[in-house]
Amino acid sequence: MKPWDQRPIEIRNLFNPAFCGLTLFRGLSGYEEEDPRGMPFSLVLLILPLCLHKESRSVLSKGSRSYFLKAIETNPQMLVGFPRRTTDMMSFTFEALGFLMHLGSFEVTADGRLKTIEKRVRKALTGTPESLECQRVARFVCKEFARIADRVTIYASLGIKP
């Protein structure tokens, strides 16, 4: 990862650790609505590639009344390049997690799950329409992850070998 001041302005704006961290936090909170134990670490790596990719986000935001697996099945174009996108986004995910950890916004449980800490991030959604959509999709996706409750199924449905 390049130092902050050596990154192109587009990368600094789009993959800002505070924004990515907020998106991850919304996802973690959504997961906890269904499973209060917290989200397994391996699923956190999937949030940003699904929520920041415009085509995927658009499919998932329209299908928020549908199930995640059905949305993937009916829109296979979402999966084109997804494994590579996930790998490319890992460093930004780790940076955002580091930012959240520095702020004390989540904890790692004894069994390796990430659990949010209350009152560390505002509950009210604010921002541009696009950033609001990213946050809403993160919450939806992670609630669906909790409902599916099987990491292997989630990874396999996204075309990634666990």
Long-range contacts from 56-63, C-beta under 8 angstroms, 24+ separation: 56/82, 57/133, 57/134, 57/137, 60/137, 60/140, 60/141, 61/133, 61/136, 61/137, 61/140
pLDDT digits (tens, 9 = 90+) for 93-146: 999 999 999 999 999 999 999 999 988 777 778 888 999 999 999 999 999 999
> Token pair 């906890």 is at which residue?
32
CA distance 91 to 11: 12
Q: What would the mean pLDDT of 83-91 be, rounded to a whole number?
A: 94
Q: Which of 149, 133, 129, 140 has the alpha carbon at shortest distance from 36?
A: 149
pLDDT digits (tens, 9 = 90+) for 41-74: 999 999 999 999 999 999 998 865 668 899 999 9
Q: Which residues, at least 6 apart from 131, have a Cβ–Cβ distance to it below 8 Å?
A: 19
Chain center to CA of 127: 17
- How much is the pTM? 0.92
CA distance 45 to 62: 22
